[in-house]
Structure 1
């Protein structure tokens, strides 16, 4: 479930795409958070999930995010051009709780980094001395791994094994799906050279994470040199559509489900694009037109609102968000 592609090898813009695959609607909202918002990493809305030594912080940066079930953040970008994408990883193991360390539940992991970091390096530093605590939503554990990137094109993949962070940090880590672990994904990718794709190269066509990973590599190697934002974004969105899971092809017993939505983030020009698979319209918002000042209201739109189309920046309205 889910795929992330980073395009950081062109001279026009750093762009990141992701797909969200899930067995049901995640009830997404696109939310604008201002600076100065106080957070509690031990609260899942009103439920205390980290009763001992929860991590608490105040947001340094404003962000535009996509929420999941109204309980946390699964995708987004902040005003400094840091992008964060949470994808499912069944093997995630947060380890045994150590109350000596501030606890952060996995539903707020992505938001914590968006709130406090301007670069990938700063985001990784924020994890020092912090312990992640597993939570669930709608009967599903938030067994997540993160892909993060910044406006300079730096990248990192972060996973949890035995309670320890496993970090792949570097511009070369541009692709990510789900299981198996990222080490194994890289070994599978190395088994076939996709750096010189051709029409004669056999290409995996299934919807499982391994096949999607390899297709993402193949089409990423074919990306044309961008000259403007629209074709650049369209290039990444085309890959995300190619690695999406179509309706009628989910295999729940294997953890593969249809795609609910896709996003593309332009980290250079600070524009966030969102495409719901049940809508013919692509939505976008430009962060430069949003008010992130401390004390500004939290704003949101519901992407399932069929009246929304194109630039939805003026359509955001105040909304209570419980985290």
Structure 2
């Protein structure tokens, strides 16, 4: 069973009660400026996820039941051939946490303590959670299409390096449409609408929206109370506050600068975890320009921002998978020509 929530509060926020989240990613969609559709996210993790920016051509054959060499879905695993080319950041080489396709449909997976995909139903094609986002951008061009195709598969819990994929999914497209998808007690909860622009971690999104009605950031001032801690609810409030103050950008450079500023404001400084906090440092930040199919990437331990244009790479079926290791301090600026052929496909 799936529950859909359409409409709702976009950027008003109040005091919240939350569970202690271990990973503190954040996502902000900027879909009401005149330059384009931009989305920023932070990736927070207790260790390096070995991120590799990877370009997949059209026509990739996938087996959703595999986690690297491990079989996660033994019966009726989902299989598909990708309709669209994509650019993603892989995690441990067995899945992706962030990416977009050639149609401008993007996804971001963030941690959510309450995630429960429910018992396995072998009557439905099963897919390990690490490929949830990849499945979406392989097969859909819009948020509406993505929600439709997700009806056909079941997400199955996966585990890598001792951490379960207790995640929720944000998707958005080049029109500015947005959806946030969570599984609570085995039931899918879908918040669909371009007003759902902010996402952090706990509590579940319906609880966040129910509690986001006490402080109105539509008329922010220097006297507006604003929390400064690293927990998800505090980061949610800061995104709401600062995003309501963003000036209209005059060009892409200004738009990316604003989106990155939001992501940096809610980042956890390098060197965490802090004793007793259960919060881990920000490993990297990304910004996508879904109107121009451009991907910006900032590794926390690198002084440089890099970017690549998906449209400048070979995306035809039969073309090789291409990769770029962002952990190269010499990389800077446009790196579209620096991709190399992958020795093997990550998944």
TM-score band (shorter)? over 0.9
Q: TM-score, normalised by structure 2?
A: 0.91
- Asked whether the equivalents of residues 107 and 133 of structure 2 are also in contact (C-alpha less than 8 Å), the reply is yes
Where structure 2 has 5 or more consecutive residues not aligned to the other structure, the ranges are 1-23
Out of 105, 114, 117, the residue aligned to residue 137 of structure 2 is 114
Superposition deviation, residue 240 in structure 1 = 0.2
Out of 302, 305, 317, the residue aligned to residue 325 of structure 2 is 302
- Matching of residues 8-27 of structure 1 within 5 Å: 8-27=31-50
Whether 1:146 aligns to 2:169 is: yes
Whether 1:80 aligns to 2:103 is: yes
Superposition deviation, residue 248 in structure 1 = 3.9
Q: Which residue of 1 aligns with 2:345?
A: 321
Q: Which residue of 2 aligns with 1:67?
A: 90
Q: Which residue of 1 aligns with 2:298?
A: 275
Q: Which residue of 2 aligns with 1:258?
A: 281
- Matching of residues 32-181 of structure 1 within 5 Å: 32-181=55-204
Residue 97 of structure 2: SS of its match in structure 1? Answer: strand
Structural RMSD (CA): 1.1
Q: Which residue of 1 aligns with 2:6?
A: none
Structure 2 distance, partners of 1:98, 1:219, is 43
- Asked whether the equivalents of residues 59 and 115 of structure 1 are also in contact (C-alpha less than 8 Å), the reply is yes
Superposition deviation, residue 79 in structure 1 = 0.4
Aligned length: 323
Structure 2 distance, partners of 1:98, 1:286, is 40
Whether 1:207 aligns to 2:230 is: yes
- Asked whether the equivalents of residues 156 and 167 of structure 1 are also in contact (C-alpha less than 8 Å), the reply is yes
- Asked whether the equivalents of residues 2 and 177 of structure 1 are also in contact (C-alpha less than 8 Å), the reply is yes
Superposition deviation, residue 188 in structure 1 = 3.1
Superposition deviation, residue 251 in structure 1 = 4.0
Structure 2 distance, partners of 1:129, 1:234, is 39
Whether 1:195 aligns to 2:221 is: no
Structure 1 distance, partners of 2:276, 2:128, is 27
Residue 173 of structure 1: SS of its match in structure 2? Answer: coil
Q: Which residue of 2 aligns with 1:182?
A: 205
Superposition deviation, residue 253 in structure 1 = 5.2
Q: Deviations over 1:68-95 (max 9, x none)?
A: 0111010011000001000011110011
Structure 2 distance, partners of 1:61, 1:222, is 36
Where structure 1 has 5 or more consecutive residues not aligned to the other structure, the ranges are none
Structure 1 distance, partners of 2:125, 2:275, is 35
Q: Deviations over 1:39-80 (max 9, x none)?
A: 000011111110000000000000000000111010011000
Q: Deviations over 1:131-153 (max 9, x none)?
A: 11000111100111011000000
